[in-house]
Structure 1
Amino acid sequence: MNIVVIREKLKEGLDIISRATGEGSQLPILKNILLEASKNKITLVATNLEIATTCSVMGKIIEDGKTTVPGNLFSGLIGALQSERINISLKNESLEIKSDNYKAKIQGTSTEEFPIIPRLKEKKEFIEMDQAVLKEALSQTVVAAQFSEIRPELNNIHLYFTVDSLVFAATDSFRLGEKKISDKEFKSNIENEFSCLLPLKTANELLRILNETGAVKIFKDENQILFETEQWECISRLGEGRFPEYKQIIPKTFISEAVVERSEFMNAVKLTSVLSSRVNEISLKPHDKAIEIVSGDESAGENDYLLAAKISGKMKPIGFNWKYLSDGLKALKGNEVYLGMSDENKAVLIKTPNEPSYFYILMPILKG
């Protein structure tokens, strides 16, 4: 192998695939990345056996070849170089790196030890959308999830496809986020409904590498899901288990409703959380045209913030885990926040007013 590549382009490619390596794995080869030059294309590959990310990099190929090298070492070296162009060649499994005034050798490992990257049986049916649309849907739902050893089915985002929508949902049993993408924002040739589970690890990896521009295509089969752009592709196992039937917990009627300014609400939660109790509780108490946000700890002190609000119905005092409340407020996009409350011990619906595509449901801290 002998190639010449622009350092910045190579660095971008390495940044895309780097987190997919199996750094914590007992298999040393998973800590390596595969570097291949063939068919007028330079390809970088990393995998941890659950996710595999492949990225193409532009460059001049003088001689075809392939090897694997330690991912952290290679990425760190390329990141530290200052030269615009880099020459990389392979001699007896030793990767030689040369620039204007620098050269290095990294001991590689035969590609025979590197796992075979899985492929879908076929790629006929697809969903295509802007990367920014997918990124927003993932960011608004992962916020409601946490890794659970007790309930592994919750370590996923639930995807439900119909001909006119794609719905993302995630929950940790204390809160739930649902994002609905309408068919105006994607195109697809899939005729039948389906649902699947996207692992949280994969979702977080996608959030890291998705751009604000360009399109992404989604393909799947019985066991795997593939995300593909012009520059990279990420293939992952699908999650296992049965996602909870969550529709019945979505509040339909409310005894009180409130609308507040989002940025001030976020700041009030952040400010009052400083003196919250060990269970991270803050309380919302109704006032005339305002909500009082209160927190306190016997050993530290107490504080409160009076937040202007439009309140209808009979609002009762209600307590939340401030971290969970803050996560939901950050996931919203508008200037105002709507709170729909049924009872002090029942889930609260949080969303942007007049925006039906996303909502966040939060369970209060139970009383009594």
Structure 2
Amino acid sequence: MKFRVAREDLADAVAWVAKSLPARPPVPVLGGILLEVEGNTLTVAGFDYEVSTRAQVSVDAESAGRVLVSGRLLAEIARALPARPVDISVDGSRVTILGGSARFTLPTMPVEDYPSLPEMPSASGTVDAAMLAEAVNQTAVAAGRDDTLPMLTGVRIEIEGDKLTLAATDRFRLAVREVSWTPDVPDMSTAVLVPARTLADAAKTLGGSEPVTIALGDGLLGLQSGGRRTTVRLLDVEFVKYRSLLPTTHTTTVDVSVAVLAEAIKRVALVTDRGHHLRLQVAEGSLTLTAGGDDEGRAEENLPVSADGSELLIAFNPSYLVDGLAVLRSDYVRLAFTTPARPALLLPVDAEGNLNESAYRYLVMPARLPG
């Protein structure tokens, strides 16, 4: 195998594939990146039995072939090469990489031990890449990170006709986002659970000018855009029945600038310690944030807001609020409350108080107030 490739194309493709490689592969070959040349196309691929990634770039090929090399090392080399065309050749059990005046020689890994990459399922429809990336980012923030509870580590994707609904929860907060898409079958109806971290990485890196093709089948989710595609093994567990958690009525609402509220929360939360939470006091025209106590220090900040409904005192984990505000994609937020013991909603609104059309809802469970 021998070919020449643009350094930027090689570095981008290798970096994208390397991101999905396991940090501690159970067998060495799963930490490798597969380089395969056919015609004038180089396929850069990785697979760990759960996630597969493939990127294709155009090359000037002298001879075809396939080789497996250390993925992390190849990514570091490709990133460090000078901005000159890169020549790669294979001689026996060694790979030579030439870029400008730099020369690297790497040992190959046994390509015959590398597992076959899964085929992409049949296409189910297409969605705007930027919209998908935003929706996944907004929901994955609420997914759990405890692998002993796999049903909480995923993003549920529900398909009903031309609407996709994404949802994730870790039991303490819940994020839901709806987006439009173009299904191949108009009356399609299904739901799958996808590992949140993998989906977030894939959606973010596939974001571009071309639509993303979503493919479902054989226990896999496939995403493809341009010359890149990835498959993810679905989680075979039942997701929580989350819709009943979303309140439909509110007794108190507060509209406030996202930036102003987020900065105030971060300041006041500086005195929160383990076991302590941020308290929000809603009164007419004001929102007062307090935290801490006499022993560890106390902080308070009063914000002028547009408040409607009953006065309220409620407490939250401040990091949950900050996480939700960070992904709202709106200048203003509506805090919608019912009682101090019931979940609250963060909803994106515009400066006039109109709900944003993004159909995003971020629900936060309150903390128990002392006494």
Q: Distance in 2 between matches of 1:331 and 1:102?
A: 42
Note if contact 2:29-2:110 (Cα within 8 Å) is conserved in structure 1. Answer: no
Q: Describe the SS at the equivalent of 1:352.
A: strand
Residue 318 of structure 1 corresponds to which residue in structure 2?
A: 314
Deviation at 1:118, TM superposition (A): 1.0
* Range with greater deviation from structure 2 (208-217 or 239-248): 208-217
> Deviation per CA, 1:310-348, whole angstroms, max 9, x where unpaired?
111113100000000101111111111111111000000
Q: Distance in 1 between matches of 2:214 and 2:306?
A: 42
Q: Distance in 2 between matches of 1:277 and 1:335?
A: 29
Residue 365 in 1 paired to residue 371 in 2? no
* Range with greater deviation from structure 2 (62-71 or 76-85): 76-85
Residue 355 in 1 paired to residue 317 in 2? no
Q: Distance in 2 between matches of 1:101 and 1:303?
A: 59
Q: Distance in 1 between matches of 2:23 and 2:282?
A: 50
- Runs (4+) of structure 1 moved beyond 4 Å? none
**1:31-70 to 2 correspondence within 5 Å?**
31-70=31-70
TM-score, normalised via structure 2 length: 0.94
**1:243-258 to 2 correspondence within 5 Å?**
243-258=239-254
Q: 1:57 to 1:260 in 2, by over 3 A?
A: same
Residue 140 of structure 2 corresponds to which residue in structure 1?
A: 142
Q: Describe the SS at the equivalent of 1:344.
A: coil
Q: 1:54 to 1:305 in 2, by over 3 A?
A: same
Q: Describe the SS at the equivalent of 1:274.
A: helix
**1:77-226 to 2 correspondence within 5 Å?**
77-120=77-120, 123=122, 125-182=123-180, 186-190=181-185, 191-226=187-222
TM-score, normalised via structure 1 length: 0.95
Note if contact 1:256-1:341 (Cα within 8 Å) is conserved in structure 2. Answer: yes
**What percent of counterpart residues are identical?**
24
Q: Distance in 2 between matches of 1:151 and 1:77?
A: 38
Q: 1:28 to 1:150 in 2, by over 3 A?
A: closer
Q: Which amino acid aligns with 1:64?
A: A
Q: 1:164 to 1:78 in 2, by over 3 A?
A: closer
Q: Describe the SS at the equivalent of 1:34.
A: strand
> Deviation per CA, 1:165-197, whole angstroms, max 9, x where unpaired?
100000001100000013xxx211123200010
Q: Distance in 2 between matches of 1:51 and 1:91?
A: 30
The match for 1:238 among 225, 230, 234 is: 234
Q: Describe the SS at the equivalent of 1:205.
A: helix
* Range with greater deviation from structure 2 (2-11 or 298-307): 298-307
Q: Distance in 1 between matches of 2:293 and 2:343?
A: 25
Note if contact 2:8-2:83 (Cα within 8 Å) is conserved in structure 1. Answer: no
Q: 1:359 to 1:102 in 2, by over 3 A?
A: same
Q: Distance in 2 between matches of 1:14 and 1:306?
A: 50
Residue 352 of structure 2 corresponds to which residue in structure 1?
A: none
Q: Distance in 1 between matches of 2:147 and 2:20?
A: 22
Note if contact 1:285-1:293 (Cα within 8 Å) is conserved in structure 2. Answer: yes
Deviation at 1:52, TM superposition (A): 0.5
RMSD after superposition: 1.5
Q: Distance in 2 between matches of 1:82 and 1:337?
A: 46
**Number of equivalent positions:** 363
Q: Distance in 1 between matches of 2:212 and 2:2?
A: 31
Structure 1's unaligned 5+ residue stretches are none
Q: Distance in 1 between matches of 2:140 and 2:43?
A: 30
Residue 277 in 1 paired to residue 273 in 2? yes
> Deviation per CA, 1:68-112, whole angstroms, max 9, x where unpaired?
000111111121111411110011021011233222211102321
Note if contact 1:23-1:30 (Cα within 8 Å) is conserved in structure 2. Answer: no
Note if contact 2:144-2:154 (Cα within 8 Å) is conserved in structure 1. Answer: no
Q: Which amino acid aligns with 2:347?
A: K
